[in-house]
Structure 1
């Protein structure tokens, strides 16, 4: 019978690894807040005067760009025996891209600035691709099963509290509006966070992986077959596809709130909501995921779906509530409570359900297929949004509920 490991029972080098990984993940997640396509970058594109067509590309590029190439590059990643160096290289790449975005915000305007941000975001997503593949492998190789969810949850909770503090400062201490240059300096400052990630990962003690003798084409073909032939991976991909609604629904809450105008305090309300949701719930979701990762996915998806449908109801039948400046940030907070469960649950599940290089295969294969589904759902969301923003929100909320039910059918990663 498998036993869950307690954090207190970790060996000295495992405790050190845990602290370094928490530091690395925390700084990375704070960097993600600065480069959040759903909130910060959406607001930035409005401030710099970018065309709406470019703004609509932010979330698909951010979400799919980091996952689509994974099945193609994971063969190269598996040739690196210590995956922490892949993680560190990706973090350095993200630093350079945020510097590019910051410079664009400082020196460009309009369409030129928007194109520069989009190009930097595309390269940022490719660098993030390396981090996404290698981070699960580093976590699985350096820490035992039963602690991984809490490590991921701790990092999310700490970064949530820190971003919460930053949002409160903006709400209370800064002017109601901010210049384009303010956003530029904010993004430039945030770029240093990924350097902290790269440094922390460099000190993690990781045993080298076995050398692979497969050629890249054979390795890719095996992963393509795995998506169909492996029942565990196949069911996980289906559940995760449906649960994409929890990520794709939240931008519509921002859109519904943009009648308040492009003010820094309006943006801070959403950053505050996202940070508060992550800070309050991530550690609890992590503990649940260490024991019942599929149930964490199901519960999180259910919460996100119900909150999304509540937003639809408010938009249709409660105009007085819908016109309040705090209504949509509050729903954003509640939806992100559910999304945190989906995110931490699925990350823990895919690490615990696989071993060795199979873990890299599971992560890269599922992420590439999910990236394709994000693009398809992005087109679907655009079509629904052309009819009504509330229709798009309703569609993705229903997908969340379907994904919640599907998650319960996944194979358990622990013996009863």
Structure 2
């Protein structure tokens, strides 16, 4: 009886082994792309990567944001409201900017969704519109309204070729017009109701802020007319910068990106610069915190869903978010430029503290290059920026305007230099 029981168990074990063998052979026979594109299959065969002629990295999924977590590659760094009582503006304060955008951003989304064909307009008409009931959003750089619409999760008929840094909603004759202000000036009719915009903006209390062209004393006639100025000289928080790239951070980042941080493909030179390599990919992290990621054009690990602007920017934003996830910083990376030439695209990002750009010595915070829909190079300055409780004094706006070159935008910046973080009006 006992012998028969052991025999039955042996048969069951043999059947299980045969079944697993058939399953394993079936998986190993699948096309490599099917395996790498299917997360659970990739995880299952990762221990047998060499058998399939794949690398560990090709079977490691790099985390990307899902649709529900997309926050946009940039948010406005200034929001200014004009109602019958006067003007109030939100800038130099991340929390206040977030709250203002939550309150007024939906109106911008509705305007973009129903915007009609853009028509060219003039600076004078835009200034007149800003004197009426209006809300103006300034983005970190010139972007297409189509990108702004995608971040607000709406669709728009506006073409990707139109670029604007200011997006302005103004109530004119009981109808809301959308002004797009960049190197070129456009106005679009929208389906928003003027009374609805009036009601949305009526609760704002004037704070003394103004555009340069609105100054009755003409103290700012030499600067860019849409320079948005506070009612009083701003007090900025001092900031500190640190390099987060110790060995533990670098190895963890490499592993997140699909590299093996513990094998022969990892090399650290005498200066502390670390390089990770595998077929088709290379990652370098310098001792000073400068990251360089390279990928072959044929590689698919870092790839956008398509070659459309919104997909490219979201892919770049998501990858940079993954790269900086381990950095404890008060700064945000915002898209400041998007250049396209045929199938080549370059997304530039910069750090912002309290809505104020941080200018690193290298010229930008991050640069992501695409060939088609594939990322082929990423340059990223890894820095942890922290605001302190101390404040920095800057020149009064009128004094700063007097020494700026004519036509310059009057804006505050942080500068990340070898001597530390300084703040002032950009010259």
* TM class by smaller structure: under 0.3
Write 1 or 2 for the structure with the bigger share of helix.
1
TM-score, with structure 1 as normaliser:
0.26
| Bigger Rg, which one | 2
Higher relative contact order (CA 8 A, sep 6+): 1
Q: TM-score, normalised by structure 2?
A: 0.25
